[in-house]
Chain A
Amino acid sequence: MTRKRISLRQELPLLVWLVIVWGALWQNFSAGNLLFGALIAVVVARLFYLPPVELGGRFNVLRAVPFALVFLAKVVAASFQVLYLAVVRGPRVISAVVAVPLRSHSDLLVTATGHVISLIPGSVVVEVDRSTSTLYIHGINVRDAGDADKLRKEVRDTEAGLIRIMGTRAELSALKQEVGA
């Protein structure tokens, strides 16, 4: 086989996730069931081999919890906003497709940023330019350049939050310099 072996440490988050799903589906978190789930997880990960996700090597839980809470608050606020737009503005709603260049070139962070932005109502990722790591985002109710700037800032703030949670050290220090400047 020519494919590169990935280390167990790199694979561990995936295996843990598979075991959690196994336990949740059986609704049984006893040691025997989890052990059997772990066995199946290893077999599945070996048989159905996928390209490994390149993790940044760090995960900051203290940053992740507030990020998740802010995310949930944003989802609630934006859901009601879209509801309001649907009822009041309706067919006269003005949107825009905005290009947002991201700082990071890691696939994981670009994907995570796109996901978080897509989950917050009011913005959909239309196109991704991987070579320049630019997201093209369709934002609803973006009526002028000021609104577009606001959307751009929100996307870049989201990315900054994700870098603080799980970006590489190089990305983190670059972000700190940018904020400090």
Chain B
Amino acid sequence: MSPETISADAVIDTVSAVFMVVGALMSLGAAIGLLRFPDLMSRMHAATKPQVLGLFLLLCAVGLQLRTWWVWPVLVVAWIFQLLTVPVSAHMVGRAGYRTKHLHPELLSADELEAVVQQAAGKRGFTDDDE
């Protein structure tokens, strides 16, 4: 092998190593967030978001290491499906959490949904959730 191809390999290896470490760091961040954030809603941020970047970086690293062009479409499709599904699950859990009052009002600086919910509940004749 000529020195040039070796250095190109080294560059690809370095880039994918950085991608993998940073991607793993994002998963670590998710775990730390789950432990340390105070309520369900802020935990949802940690539980769902860092993977968007983490998976992107790890898939890039896989693509760089396999060095065949036909693996890229699969990786792109995998990431797009992640992009399509993550917000839905985050929204469903967040919404259910809000409705069942799994939140700490003292940790919210503003809650512009509460008044709307109160109003809607009043209109329909509900007083409060049975909890």
Measured CB to CB, the residues of A under 8 A from B are: 20-21, 23-25, 27-29, 72, 75-76, 78-79, 82-83, 85-87, 90-99, 114-115, 118-127, 129, 136, 138, 140, 142-145, 147-148
Contacts and interface: CB of A to CB of B under 8 A. Distances in A.
A121 B32 CA distance: 15
Contacts, number: 150
Nearest to A92: B38
B82 to A, nearest CB: 9
Interface in B94-130: 94-95, 98, 107-114, 116
A110 B34 CA distance: 29
A86 B46 contact: yes
Contacts of A144: 109
The interface residues of chain B, by DSSP majority, are classed as helix
A93 B37 contact: yes
Contact of B49 (A78, A127, A136): A78
A96 B111 contact: yes
Contacts of A140: 42, 45
A125 B25 CA distance: 25
B91 A119 contact: no
Nearest to B84: A115
Given A25-B74, A83-B25, 5 more contacts: A79-B52, A86-B29, A96-B110, A97-B108, A98-B110
5 contacts: A90-B37, A95-B109, A123-B45, A140-B42, A147-B109
